[in-house]
Amino acid sequence: MSAGIRVCVAFAAPGAESLVDLRLPAGATVADAVAQSALIPRLGLDPAGIAFAVFGQRADPDTPLADGDRVELTRPLAAEPMQVRRQRARERPLPKAAPKRKARPPAA
């Protein structure tokens, strides 16, 4: 008989951080770990706005887990990263580069 697997379910946000270590049966999924951790109701999170990752890689609720995995509850992005970069570039453009000088031929 299998002893099961150990996983950690993690959530972090400004002002809130939570880690829950669990022992689950072999073959458990991300959804099983999230449900057993009870982090979503305990922290008052909106289940519709939460996505999942395993060690930073996106995962579906039916993704099987392995011993030692860390399941992460991820929040929606506050802003699209590319839009933020573009806006910052518009607000603070780079200085114009000095004209390139032609290289002199080697002295003979």
Domain ranges of the chain: 5-91
Sole residue written with tokens 């996505």: 51
Among residues 57, 75, 58, the alpha carbon closest in space to that of 13 is found at 75
Residues whose CB is less than 8 angstroms from the CB of residue 91 and which lie 6 or more positions away in sequence, other chains included: none
Looking at residue 13, what is its pLDDT? 86
pLDDT string in tens for the chain (108-residue length):
457 999 999 999 888 889 999 999 999 999 999 999 999 999 888 888 899 999 999 999 999 999 999 999 998 777 777 888 888 888 888 888 777 777 777 776
**Residue 5 one-letter amino acid:** I
3-state DSSP assignment of residue 71:
strand
Q: Give yes or no for a contact between 11 and 45, defined as CB atoms under 8 angstroms apart.
A: yes
Question: Which token pair is 15?
Answer: 């002002």
3-state DSSP assignment of residue 79:
coil
Return the CATH architecture of domain 5-91. Answer: Roll (3.10)
Looking at residue 1, what is its pLDDT? 42
CA distances, 9 to each of 37, 55, 65, 68, 89 (Å): 7, 10, 11, 11, 37
The whole-model pTM stands at 0.69
CA atoms within 13 A on the CB side of 68: 0
